[in-house]
Amino acid sequence: MTTGDRDHWDRRWARRPPAEPSPPEAAAGNLDLLPTTGRALDVACGQGAQAVWMALRGLRVTAVDVSPLALAAARALAELHGVADRVTFSEHDMDAGPPEGAGDLDLIVCQRFLHRGFLGGLADRLTPGGVAAISVLSDVGAPRDAVGGGHRVRPGELVELLPGLEILDSREGNGVASVLARRP
């Protein structure tokens, strides 16, 4: 990612109100399937809503994002909720590959960030029984004027990007594809 991309995301995050802890959207209706102990990774964590939510549940979380502005907001959210000691925030460009230590994870959350190569290797990063909660932009039900390019999955593609994982729940619609999957 270029400095221009980082600046783009900083500008977008600057316009958003502060986040509140919230579960990953891919786990809607299935929160009981998410672990409450172990290690988690929040990919493209933004303002830290999911990272802090996971830490409040008892997980140790590594949260990465390319935007220093978003990470500052995420750190503040973790401090506000008393879990700053359970979350490690790191500026990282996922286009350069996964962060160090992105293996032996009990939970991976990736919300609204599409990196096909990273998703294809999730099974290797999860512990046996580990869960991935992934939601990305999709062509399914997207507005006609939505920008596609490589930033949206085609119908059924998200499930195809997760070889080696048991699909627990999969949904597509309104321009979003979500999958909850587990490593056998």
Which of the 8 DSSP states describes residue 86?
G
Domain that holds residue 130: 3-182
Rounded mean pLDDT, 67-75: 93
For residue 172, with 0-12 CB atoms within 10 Å meaning exposed, 13-18 middle and 19 or more buried, which class applies? buried
The domain tally of the chain equals 1
Q: For the whole model, what pTM was predicted?
A: 0.89
CATH no. for residue 113? 3.40.50.150
pLDDT band at 93 (very low <50, low <70, confident <90, very high): confident
Q: In this predicted structure, which of 6-15, 71-80, 84-93, 125-134 has the lowest mean pLDDT? A: 6-15
Amino acid 149: pLDDT? 58
Structure confidence by residue, pLDDT tens digits, 148-172:
556 889 999 999 999 999 999 999 9
d(CA 108, CA 41) in angstroms, rounded, equals 5
